[in-house]
Amino acid sequence: MHILFIADPLAGFKTYKDSTYAMMTEAAGRGHALSFGLAEDLHVADGDVAVLAQSLRLTPEEAVWYRLGEAAATPLTQFDAVVMRTDPPFDLEYLYATHLLNRAAERGARVFNHPRAIRDHNEKLAITEFPQFTAPTLVTRRADLLRAFVAQHDQAVFKPLDGMGGSGIFRVSRGEPNLSVIIETLTRDGRETIMAQKYLPAIREGDKRVLLIAGKTVPYCLARIPKEGETRGNLAAGGTGVARELSDADRRIAEALGPTLAARGLLLVGLDVIGENLTEINVTSPTCFREITDQTGFNVAGMFIDELEAAAGR
């Protein structure tokens, strides 16, 4: 099988914890051919969606862990599978990339996750489809509604709809003297919509990443525990990742959502769960493969490549 990975520049990978690298290593170990391309190099020529692709060979050297071939414009239909792993933010360029990838899929390319499904599942807004699993949540750009939400719930978490890694997240309390300026900053004076969620004290026990692969639940999650004095558990914000077996609530949420999301073309999904509450549905480039595998021995990348092979018909 020939797999194209569309991802961020390889030089920026932290291979000791990078999930895309884990996928690449597992695929190469099975004898699959690998290629690499950047989302910015997607283009349409004569009706075909192509990318400037380079053959990718992994090496055992830590300093330079890859070798790339010459770049050549290659239609996406020439690959057995195209794995989209570009990190957010989900800005206009990311949106345009999903449109191009969708056109390629219409012409027969096998793209994972399906670009239409990525586009249709904003990682914050997607939880609103499943209110039975969520804490009280408000989506708005109106300052009066945001103030009322904080007053009602005493404490709330504000977050932008296009962030990642905990960026732009504020925890606010009733009586917060800077509440108005926080709202003005996040909503850009009422021009941008944000999400507010009731603050969940269970964050102290970790913001759990629960992985779904082809609708099936990885049996371990990664609880990302905030550092002292911090509200955010994100690893990028200094949280500590501890692998755990799934709780009954984790499994109940995952088993309820898994088949639905898989049927929409989402091969890989990362659910964020705090306590017993679903807080996000990550579909762009879910992570935590390496941490779960290193701590439990469960081969998450192996499960992913198994399902990628099945989905690609190889």
Number of domains in the chain: 3
Q: Quick check: is 167 in a domain?
A: yes
| 189-239: pLDDT as tens digits | 999 999 999 999 999 999 999 999 999 999 999 999 987 767 766 676 678
CATH code for position 66:
3.40.50.20
Per annotation, catalytic residue among 102, 113, 234, 282: 282
Indicate if 297 and 268 belong to the same structural domain: yes
Residue percentage of the chain with pLDDT more than 90: 89
Per annotation, catalytic residue among 209, 234, 277, 291: 209
Model's pTM, two decimal places? 0.93
pLDDT at position 45, please? 87
Q: Quick check: is 126 in a domain?
A: no
282 in active site = yes
Query: Among 67, 85, 120, where does a domain finish?
Result: 120
Tokens coding 52: 């400037």
CATH code for position 194:
3.30.1490.20
Residue percentage of the chain with pLDDT more than 70: 96
Per annotation, catalytic residue among 110, 208, 224, 290: 224
Q: Which domain holds residue 49?
A: 2-120
| Stretch 268-292: mean pLDDT | 97
110 in active site = no
Indicate if 194 and 216 belong to the same structural domain: no
pLDDT at position 223, please? 97
Return the higher-pLDDT residue of 131 and 227.
Answer: 131
280 in active site = yes
Indicate if 108 and 8 belong to the same structural domain: yes
| Stretch 281-291: mean pLDDT | 96
Indicate if 157 and 191 belong to the same structural domain: yes
Indicate if 241 and 274 belong to the same structural domain: yes
Indicate if 76 and 46 belong to the same structural domain: yes
Q: Quick check: is 220 in a domain?
A: yes
pLDDT at position 235, please? 72
- Band of pLDDT at residue 261, cut at 50, 70 and 90: very high
| 24-33: pLDDT as tens digits | 999 999 999 9
Per annotation, catalytic residue among 85, 110, 119, 159: 159
Indicate if 8 and 100 belong to the same structural domain: yes
